[in-house]
């Protein structure tokens, strides 16, 4: 029997719960970076009052959600494509845009390369460097885009994760505009994954400048809006590009509850403000606690997670494994190209949960302890 390839993503509380014979709710998950305040209370109300929709197919045009998103960003609904999470859109983009060779900046989210592989294309890589705290190398990216070639072969475009996962780094809107200009001039696609940009709105290209024809911005309702189980993401682009992308998606891929919940979540400005304020404060408090752990280096972040380098002599794999056995999931980043073997990504969760992580991880860093 063919073996099912294990997911390398964070957030798999189900597998760990099975391994430990526990309830998934008992797993403390720092490996997926979801708003620790949870979804807006409006979401629950909207779901309850839309129960009757379960007896129907969802709206294949996601019309109410696209209209709400268009009003939110002050754009035309024809520029928006909604997918079953931004992952579905990442998967469809190489086929929709006929991208055969894509530039990626590592360390970054693995699905870009995975999607290129599924589309029988390939990626070529630039690296952000540890010595610069993994700052996005804008000048080198521009050079590559200017030539339209990398490693001696032509490229069709690039994907930039902004803010980037797992490093937390983000470039400015001015940087993005410059990249968009070069990409436009060279006829290259520029895909900007803004799945975590709700946490740094002033670094988002959406809503700030008009998008060039070759730019596609991806957004997710998973992280900031805390709807990972409902699977809703969207792409914003020129309408012709949106049409190409839409044609690559299967019908009804976004559930009725996902659409209803996303509309309700977008509408709750109070929860949005509270979530941002909470993250600003707790992220800094957590950073100070992490930085005080012996030998740990905490990278700067614009998102709701930290890339942390464990002390010399420790490995991400070992510490991740030991926390797992205690029902705590963190993201081992040692296999992410460009990250070293001591790199882990930690979500910022509630104050109580963050303190528990500090308590759990501290003894593991001091001595090797019982396995
Ligand atoms: C950078 C980045 N983009 C996109 C996604 C996919 O998010 P979703 O499919 O839940 O919208 C993830 C998920 O971890 C991510 O980290």
Of 3-17, 39-53, 257-271, the poorest mean pLDDT is in 3-17
The pLDDT tens digits of the residues spanning 323-352 come to: 999 999 999 999 999 999 999 999 999 999
Domains and CATH numbers, the chain: 13-39+270-366 (3.90.1150.10), 41-267 (3.40.640.10)
Burial of 178 (0-12, 13-18, 19+ CB in 10 A): middle
* CB-based contact 124:102 (threshold 8 Å): yes
pLDDT score at 1:
39
Strand 343-347 and strand 331-332: the pairing is antiparallel
* CB-based contact 157:189 (threshold 8 Å): yes
* Residue partners of 209: CB distance under 8 A and separation at least 6: 173, 177
* CB-based contact 99:156 (threshold 8 Å): yes
194 lines ligand 1 (CB under 6 A): no
Confidence of residue 353 (pLDDT cuts 50, 70, 90): very high
Examine the pLDDT at 4 and tell me if it is beyond 90.
Answer: no
Percent of the chain with pLDDT over 90: 94
Overall average pLDDT of the 130-135 stretch? 97
Examine the pLDDT at 169 and tell me if it is beyond 90.
Answer: yes
The pLDDT tens digits of the residues spanning 291-330 come to: 999 999 999 999 999 999 999 999 999 999 999 999 999 9
Overall average pLDDT of the 45-67 stretch? 98
pLDDT score at 368:
54
Examine the pLDDT at 70 and tell me if it is beyond 70.
Answer: yes
85 lines ligand 1 (CB under 6 A): yes
Overall average pLDDT of the 207-222 stretch? 93
Of 64-73, 156-165, 202-211, 261-270, the poorest mean pLDDT is in 202-211
With the most atoms of ligand 1 within 8 angstroms of its CB, the residue from 114, 195, 224, 235 to mutate is 195
Give distance in angstroms: CA of 305 to centre of ligand 1: 13
pLDDT score at 281:
98
String of b and e for 216-239 (b: at least 16 CB within 10 Å)?
bbbbbbbbbbbbbebbbbbbbbbe
C-alpha distances out from residue 62 to 73, 86, 153, 222, 318, Å: 16, 15, 39, 17, 44
Give distance in angstroms: CA of 86 to centre of ligand 1: 6
Give CA–CA dist 22/16, Å, rounded: 8
Overall average pLDDT of the 137-165 stretch? 97
233 lines ligand 1 (CB under 6 A): yes
Overall average pLDDT of the 27-51 stretch? 97
- What atom in ligand 1 is closest to the CA of residue 220? 11
The pLDDT tens digits of the residues spanning 91-125 come to: 999 999 999 999 999 999 999 999 999 999 999 99
Average pLDDT, the chain: 96
Give CA–CA dist 68/45, Å, rounded: 18
Give CA–CA dist 114/106, Å, rounded: 14
């Amino acid at each position: 029997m063919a073996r099912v390839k294990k997911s390398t993503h964070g957030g798999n509380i189900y597998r760990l719960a099975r391994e430990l014979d526990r309830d998934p709710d008992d797993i403390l998950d720092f490996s997926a970076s979801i708003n620790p305040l949870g979804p807006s209370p409006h979401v629950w109300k909207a779901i309850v009052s839309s129960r009757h929709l379960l007896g129907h197919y969802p709206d294949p045009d996601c019309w109410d959600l696209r209209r709400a998103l268009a009003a939110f960003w002050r754009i035309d609904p024809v520029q928006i494509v909604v997918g079953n999470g931004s992952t579905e859109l990442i998967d469809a983009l190489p086929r929709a845009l006929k991208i055969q060779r894509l530039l990626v900046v590592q360390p970054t989210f693995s699905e870009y390369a995975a999607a290129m592989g599924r589309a029988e294309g390939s990626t070529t890589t630039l690296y952000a460097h540890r010595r610069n705290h993994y700052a996005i190398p804008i000048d080198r990216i521009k050079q590559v885009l200017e030539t339209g070639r990398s490693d001696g072969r032509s490229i069709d475009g690039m994907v930039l994760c902004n803010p980037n996962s797992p490093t937390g780094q983000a470039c400015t809107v001015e940087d993005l505009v410059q990249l968009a200009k070069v990409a436009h001039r060279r006829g290259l696609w520029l895909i900007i994954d803004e799945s975590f940009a709700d946490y740094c709105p002033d670094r988002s290209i959406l809503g700030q400048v008009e998008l060039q024809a070759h730019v596609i911005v991806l957004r997710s309702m998973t992280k900031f809006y805390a709807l990972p189980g409902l699977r809703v993401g969207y792409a914003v682009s020129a309408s012709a590009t949106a049409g190409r992308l839409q044609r690559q998606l299967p019908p009804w891929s976004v559930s009725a509850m996902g659409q209803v919940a996303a509309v309700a979540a977008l509408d709750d400005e109070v929860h949005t403000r509270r979530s941002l304020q909470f993250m600003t404060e707790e992220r800094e408090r957590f950073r100070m606690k992490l930085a005080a752990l012996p030998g740990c280096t905490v990278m700067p972040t614009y998102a709701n997670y930290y890339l942390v380098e464990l002390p010399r002599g420790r490995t991400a794999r070992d510490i991740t494994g030991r926390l797992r056995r205690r029902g705590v999931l963190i993201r081992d980043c040692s296999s992410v190209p460009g990250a070293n073997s001591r790199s882990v990504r930690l979500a910022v969760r509630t104050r109580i949960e963050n303190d528990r992580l500090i308590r759990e991880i501290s003894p593991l860093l001091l001595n090797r302890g019982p396995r």
